[in-house]
Structure 1
Amino acid sequence: MSAEPTASSSHLDLSTAQVIKTPITTATGSLLSSNAYEKTSTTSSTSFLGPVHEFTARISKWRDSLNLPDPGTYEQVGREAKGVHLTNYIFDGARAELAKALSLSPAFNVTHSFNMGAQGGAMGGIHPGTYSFGGMYATNNVKYKYTTLSIHAIVFAQGTIDSDATLMGRFNYRWGSKDISKLQIQWPSNPTNPSVTQVEHERHGQDYALSMKAYNPNISNQSGIFITQYLQSLHPRFSLGIESVWQVMPPMEDASMSYLMKWQSAKREKLSDQVEAAVDLHFLPHPSPRERKAVSTVGLKYDFRQATVRAQADSTGKVSMLLEQRIAPMFTFSVAGELDHAKYNIAFPHHIEDWGDLCLSVLAD
């Protein structure tokens, strides 16, 4: 009597164990099969993208082997000639500047500028004169830490406000060795004068340069001018570029594209350590012969021990010259002359600079 219940109980326990064991084995098998499916799908996706990764790796390795230089941006094309010519140095009327450095690290200085006798007055005559107050702030190698990420940035800020309450400013933020963001504004106090807001971002690769700009972007009425520029080095001395301009002014839109070819000679003749010469040619093609325009400019720069002379002449009959005389280590006097044979116009502006106790030079770009 006692043995039968024992046998039956053992039989029931065994059957229960078998019933419980069966779904556990089935569940384990399903998990193993799902893991195998994930591995199979991952392997298949990896094998599918494998040729793409291999192709891009070969292209990157081939580009590194060429060791092509950074071509620079569109604005930097012809900068050697721009440094010789007077386009970026000429001024109008009489001007005096007084600058004072307040800090070295970070760099901070203020400037006082006086302009008199310039053309472009209220009635088209001589401007009565303006006063401008400006400031410059720059930092180098600023560190920002986000967990394990460390960013080294360079900040540059410059602003000017004149007696007419016109505000002009620049702000550059360098994210690293490749990326830099820029902001430029010009906001006049007179609502009839147009204001300008420019947002720009540049990326410099090993052999390319990409720039994206937006002029007066307005989200409310969906307007603005958007420019994209790309320059690629194909040879140590040869580069090709493309520029797209999209202008949105409701209800009208306009788009255009332009192309650029840059060739740098392998041999450069240096006249001397003090003399530089440059030739610049601007040609505007057009189907109509009357609309075709071309201007050729020849410039010469000579550096003395305490002075710099720039002179240039172009095909339109304009001859100009600029003399920068360093009278003292912190005092500079400049005089310029411009003679336009076509318009029979003569101008002789003057410029005085006093840099106080220290002269600072900060590379904003």
Structure 2
Amino acid sequence: MALVEEKSSSSPLALLTDNAISAALSDTYSTLQERRKLLGLENPGTVDNIAREVQKDVLLSNFMFSGLRCDLQKVFSISPLFRLQHGLAMGSQALPPWQLMALYGTSNVFMQAAYSSDKSLTAWGNLRWTPRFVTKTQTSIDARQAQAMVQIENEYTGEDFSASLKAISPSILEGGLTGIVIGSYLQSVTPRIALGLEGVWQRAGLNTKPETALSYCARYKGTDWIASAQYLAQGSLGASYWRKLSDKVEAGVDCQLQFAPAMGAGMFGGIRREGTTTVGVKYNFAASVYRAQVDSAGKFGVVLEKRVAPPVTLTFAAEIDQWKNTHKLGLAVSLEGAPEELQEIAERADTQNQLPPPI
């Protein structure tokens, strides 16, 4: 009678789990998970940041500017983080004359918005659902453009892999899916080697055929150096090398090579190869950071950030193009204000193991 009662009280879905096939799959999965843990694999980062140490930390792509710039920042609270910033610029083609930016962030929520004098609005909003799963959004509205840009990304960070799915300006109002969808996956196969791929699907309108592309990437992490390579389906190849020379000095090399049909060569003509190699170095001093780079196109640039006082930071940028005989100069002043009690709270928060905002 006891056996009959146990069978009758079991769930109707027990047949899907209490069988030889599901048990074998569960045992196989558990065995693979144990072997992966024994390999000592680490999270390799994401495909978008596969060359972050060189392209975003050492080289000047994210730091070069021209003209005069002044940033006035005011921190109202640390936990949660709330900050307002006024930006003034003059003589710059990339920066607006005036910009107001607000930032709010906790360990699970990050929100930032920027409104410029040219009536453009850009907003970022990130939400951390779990310690490993984050949703990132970005919206850009510009009066000079007919359509707004919306980007939604879901990113999952595993113990030894990272996966993300991104949609740029998706729409189904025309009766079908249009926009750009990007999916990427990066997996550590050994403690030093990581392999990944990225797929792109895009369709401008229903009257056009969708286009797809697949890219491959690899990353090798040494003791004090990192090398990465990425091949794009459009016919371009990128390679980078980063090395930590000392506690305060970092160096990097980035090479970008594009393959395209030669002009006027016809369908069976030759392939034109164009490429640029950039070498950069970064010095971290006690109160300043110095970056310099030179590339094969004849450009030489430097950026110096120096904190002259706790609330004041000066930034000097310069770039010279030897072949075109042109140059750019930039000078920025950043003033940051925060009460002393907030600075003490920030120092105490740094000593605690808190998750940073999902930026």
User: TM-score scaled by structure 2?
Assistant: 0.80
Question: How many Å apart are 1:270 and its aligned residue?
Answer: 4.2
- 2:278 aligned partner: 297
Q: Which amino acid aligns with 1:56?
A: Y
RMSD of equivalent CA atoms? 2.8
Matches within 5 A, 1:15-34: none
Asked whether the 8 Å contact 1:99–1:110 carries over to 2, the reply is yes
Asked whether the 8 Å contact 1:132–1:162 carries over to 2, the reply is yes
Question: How many Å apart are 1:165 and its aligned residue?
Answer: 1.4
Question: How many Å apart are 1:48 and its aligned residue?
Answer: 3.1
Asked whether the 8 Å contact 1:197–1:216 carries over to 2, the reply is yes
Partner of 2:20, secondary structure, is helix
Q: Identify if the C-alpha distance between structure 1 residues 188 and 38 changes in structure 2 by more than 3 Å, giving closer, same or farther.
A: closer
Partner of 2:93, secondary structure, is coil
Matches within 5 A, 1:1-365: 42=15, 46-81=19-54, 82-119=56-93, 130-140=97-107, 154-192=108-146, 194-221=147-174, 222-249=177-204, 250-252=206-208, 253-268=210-225, 270-286=244-260, 290-357=271-338, 364-365=358-359
Q: Take 1:325 and 1:43, find their aligned partners in 2: how far apart are those partners?
A: 64
Partner of 1:352, secondary structure, is strand
Q: What does the per-residue CA deviation read over 1:111-158, in whole Å, with 9 as the maximum and x for residues that have no partner?
A: 0001110137xxxxxx8x521111000112xxxxxxxxxxxxx10101
Partner of 1:230, secondary structure, is strand
Sequence identity, in percent?
A: 32
Q: Take 1:71 and 1:251, find their aligned partners in 2: how far apart are those partners?
A: 40
Q: Identify which range, 270-279 or 281-290, moves more after superposition.
A: 281-290
Q: Which runs of 5 or more residues in structure 2 are unaligned? A: 226-242, 263-269, 351-355
Asked whether the 8 Å contact 2:259–2:271 carries over to 1, the reply is no
Q: Identify if the C-alpha distance between structure 1 residues 213 and 37 changes in structure 2 by more than 3 Å, giving closer, same or farther.
A: closer
Q: Identify if the C-alpha distance between structure 1 residues 75 and 169 changes in structure 2 by more than 3 Å, giving closer, same or farther.
A: same
Q: What does the per-residue CA deviation read over 1:56-105, in whole Å, with 9 as the maximum and x for residues that have no partner?
A: 22112211221211111112211111211111111122111000011122
Asked whether the 8 Å contact 2:167–2:181 carries over to 1, the reply is yes
Q: Identify if the C-alpha distance between structure 1 residues 304 and 217 changes in structure 2 by more than 3 Å, giving closer, same or farther.
A: same
- 2:232 aligned partner: none
Partner of 1:349, secondary structure, is strand
Asked whether the 8 Å contact 1:301–1:308 carries over to 2, the reply is yes
Structure with the bigger RCO (C-alpha within 8 Å, sep 6+) is 2
Q: Take 2:98 and 2:10, find their aligned partners in 1: how far apart are those partners?
A: 76
Q: Identify if the C-alpha distance between structure 1 residues 44 and 174 changes in structure 2 by more than 3 Å, giving closer, same or farther.
A: closer
More helix as a share of residues = 1
Q: Which amino acid aligns with 1:195?
A: A
Question: How many Å apart are 1:257 and its aligned residue?
Answer: 0.7
Q: What does the per-residue CA deviation read over 1:316-365, in whole Å, with 9 as the maximum and x for residues that have no partner?
A: 11110111122211111111110112322111111110012368897543
- 2:228 aligned partner: none
Question: How many Å apart are 1:231 and its aligned residue?
Answer: 0.6
Q: Identify if the C-alpha distance between structure 1 residues 338 and 36 changes in structure 2 by more than 3 Å, giving closer, same or farther.
A: closer
- 2:240 aligned partner: none
Asked whether the 8 Å contact 1:237–1:266 carries over to 2, the reply is no
Q: Take 1:44 and 1:75, find their aligned partners in 2: how far apart are those partners?
A: 39
Q: What does the per-residue CA deviation read over 1:188-244, in whole Å, with 9 as the maximum and x for residues that have no partner?
A: 12244x532110000011111101000001120231100000111101111111111
Asked whether the 8 Å contact 2:109–2:357 carries over to 1, the reply is no
Larger radius of gyration: 1
Q: Identify if the C-alpha distance between structure 1 residues 38 and 162 changes in structure 2 by more than 3 Å, giving closer, same or farther.
A: closer
Q: Which amino acid aligns with 2:198?
A: E
Q: Identify if the C-alpha distance between structure 1 residues 335 and 38 changes in structure 2 by more than 3 Å, giving closer, same or farther.
A: closer
Q: Identify which range, 225-234 or 86-95, moves more after superposition.
A: 86-95
Q: Which amino acid aligns with 2:172?
A: I
Q: Which amino acid aligns with 2:22?
A: L
Q: Which runs of 5 or more residues in structure 1 are unaligned? A: 1-27, 121-126, 141-153
Q: Identify if the C-alpha distance between structure 1 residues 46 and 300 changes in structure 2 by more than 3 Å, giving closer, same or farther.
A: same
Q: Identify which range, 211-220 or 45-54, moves more after superposition.
A: 45-54
